[in-house]
Structure 1
Amino acid sequence: MLNSLSAIRRSIHGNLPDDRPVKSITLVENISNCPQGFYPVSRTYDQDQDADLRESSIFKSSSARYLCLSKTEGLPNFVVSELLVINEKDFPPAGFSLLNRTSDSEQKAWKKKQLCYRLVNLKNTKSAVTDIIICSRLKKAPEGFIFAGELNGVTICYKMGNVQDSHSNTCQTPQIPNRPPRPAPPPPVGNPTYPNLQEDDHDYEILLPGYPQPRPPAPLPSTGPINSTQTMNSGSSNTAMEGVPFIINPKFLTSANASKVTLPVIKARSMQQLLKDYSYPFTIERQT
Structure 2
Amino acid sequence: MMAAPETNDPSCYPLTGMGWSSNPSTCPKEYQLINTTADGSSANFAKGFGQKSSCFLCVSSLLNKENPQGDIVSDIQLLPDKNPLPSGYAFIAEFLDPKVNVSKKKRLCIKRVPFSEADTAVFDVKLTGKSKQIVPLYTCIGELSGFVIWCRKGKVAKPKPLPKPRSISFDMRGLSLENESSRIKEEPLVRISKRRTNLEHKDSIYSAENIYGISAMDGVPFVLHPRFESNVNVPNANIRNFQIKSHAEIENEYNYSFMTEKTAAARLPPTAS
Q: Given the two structures, how large is their TM-score scaled by the length of structure 1?
A: 0.47
Greater RCO between the two (CA within 8 Å, min separation 6)? 2
Larger radius of gyration: 2
